[in-house]
Amino acid sequence: MKDRTRLIHSGRHPADHAGAVNIPVYRASTLIQPTVERLENTPTPFGYGRRGTPTTRGLEESVCALEGGARTMLTPSGLSACTAALMAVLGAGDHLLMVDTVYGPTRAFCRGPLKRFGVETTFYTSTITAADLEVLIRPNTKAIFLESPGSGTFEVQDVPALAATAKAHGIAVLVDNTWATPLLFKPLTHGADLSIVAATKYLVGHADVLIGTITANEATADKLNDFHGKFGLTTSGDDAYLTQRGMRTLGVRLAQHQTTALKLARWFQARPEVERVLYPALETDPGHAIWKRDFAGASGLFGVELKPASKTAVPAMLDGYELFAMGWSWGGYESLAVTTKIDRSAPGYRPAGTLLRFHAGLEDPDDLIADLAAGFERFNAAG
Ligand SMILES: Cc1ncc(COP(=O)(O)O)c(C=O)c1O
């Protein structure tokens, strides 16, 4: 079965739900057991609402099938998927290698709670090679975390090479796969142990649910299940339902997000106000070759570095957009634009001018370009 078919048919059980095409929303904490035997030997299959219902299990099945994993677990947000995955494989005295271009709040978790619990983090440059990685590995290095492309600056990582090196040292490999989704990149088949997705973005696709997924390979599934259960992570039936409904159209949505983002990215490249466009699908992008080798496509999120301008130019441009709204998320059907501040501690790319992040939504690309063009008129008028 191909992925686009899998998206439609996975995690659906009409015969178990009166023929309903979608698994209905189960809102349940108590799940009544019919016999002492079942009561004492749960889950068979469902023992208590916190550990799952048919609605959450359906979504887990869909994500797991797409990721090619052994087990998927749901979390209440994308960030909690990142932090739970880290806690599932790390303990006091361990050393973590964290990509420097990681999503800011994941970085903050390493610097705060993870440090307090005795885990030391080294932030590494996202574009390191396998040989560079060898040098960073210590006897107590237990995990490496990757995010490709990286937050804000969109550098692509050589996941297969880094994962193979980490594996040779018995190090757990975690990948934040939110940008690509498991439709466009499959971390587990490229050597990762845990693939993490802020499903809040493209899987949900409609900007109305916060939810995360962690998918484990066979070797890591028990560890993930154990931590997830003991930590008490749970997701509501309503949120799981909306996420699975969103996933049914992920294929067509992502195809359109890519087409529009590529059109906008090329348009930005031709603008005199722009220093650089950060989008791996562009042939000129430094990460293009690896992206082309490993990914089945691109999503709709990309960066734009502007040439230095006056303080008022950027607000004049962004405040006046009619279609690009400002909001700290992405992956929904709507176009978004934000200014981006990057926090880095390892060597790597640093923009000189203002860095912007655009999410290409599902509007007509020509209307979006007209909105962006009017924005540059305000930008230039402001000096
Ligand atoms: C790459 C990445 N990972 C994780 C997250 C966290 O997701 P959530 O907002 O659902 O906690 C985000 C959110 O923006 C993200 O961009």
Q: Which amino acid is at 95?
A: H
The answer to whether 268 and 279 have CB atoms below 8 angstroms apart is: no
Looking at residue 44, its pLDDT comes to: 65
CA of 378 to the centre of ligand 1 (A): 31
Both tokens assigned to 246: 């969103």
| Candidate from 98, 201, 233, 235 with most ligand 1 atoms within 8 A of CB, to mutate | 201
322 φ/ψ angles, rounded to the nearest 5 degrees? -95, -30
Helix ranges (H only) for 71-120 are: 78-89, 104-109, 115-116
CB-based pocket (< 6 A), ligand 1: 77-79, 82, 103, 147, 151, 176, 178, 198, 200, 210, 212, 329
Enumerate residue ranges in the chain where pLDDT < 50: none
CA of 198 to the centre of ligand 1 (A): 5
Q: How many helices (H) and strands (E) does the chain have?
A: 15, 11
Reported as half-sphere exposure (CB side, CA atoms, 13 A), residue 359 has a value of 25
> Which domains, ranges and CATH numbers included, belong to the chain?
3-248 (3.40.640.10), 250-381 (3.90.1150.10)
- CB contact set of 166 (below 8 Å; sequence gap of 6+): 133, 137, 144, 172, 173, 191
- Chain-centre distance of CA 319, in angstroms? 27
Tens-digit pLDDT profile for residues 165-216: 999 999 999 999 999 999 999 999 999 999 999 999 999 999 999 999 999 9
The answer to whether 266 and 282 have CB atoms below 8 angstroms apart is: yes
The answer to whether 176 and 80 have CB atoms below 8 angstroms apart is: no
- The length of the chain in residues reads 383
CA distance 145 to 164: 13
Looking at residue 383, its pLDDT comes to: 81
Enzyme catalytic residues: 50, 103, 176, 201
CA distance 321 to 354: 17
Looking at residue 43, its pLDDT comes to: 64
pTM of the model: 0.98
| Candidate from 74, 77, 79, 194 with most ligand 1 atoms within 8 A of CB, to mutate | 79
Atom of ligand 1 at shortest range from CA of 178 = 1
The answer to whether 359 and 331 have CB atoms below 8 angstroms apart is: yes
Class of residue 376 by CB neighbours under 10 A (exposed 0-12, middle 13-18, buried 19+): middle
Looking at residue 38, its pLDDT comes to: 87
